Amino acid sequence: MKIIQNVELYFETNEIEELSELINEKDIEIIHGLKEENWGQRTIRIYDPDKFIIEIAEPMSNVIIRYYKSGKSLEKISKKTQMPLNTIKTILLKKINANY
């Protein structure tokens, strides 16, 4: 029986840098190490033992917060991330409220 591996599993983590370091220390087949996608999200792709693709990325809310902290305007964040302006405002308000 032929196994078709056109499946990709997707996970998110708030600790993308730490996970990248851990993966690099292990005997794991890496498709690509930590990289920033065109929309700003940092991702890693690896193969599992059965050669299925596993993608691990930071949540888009983290991308928005990172760009906001770097001084980007809401409009520039929206354009880069392809997220609606209202979604960006909601994410930032939740972050602000969580810190108080």
Domain boundaries, the chain: 1-58, 60-100
Res 99 pLDDT > 90: no
Asked whether the CA dihedral 87, 90, 96, 98 is positive or negative, the reply is negative
Of 41, 32, 50, 39, the residue nearest 13 (C-alpha):
41
Residue 67 pLDDT = 97
Residue range 40-54, pLDDT digits in tens:
999 999 999 988 999
Residue 45 pLDDT = 98
Residue range 38-92, pLDDT digits in tens:
999 999 999 999 889 999 999 999 999 999 999 999 999 999 999 999 999 999 9
Residue 7 pLDDT = 84
Question: May I ask the CATH architecture of the domain 1-58?
Answer: Roll (3.10)
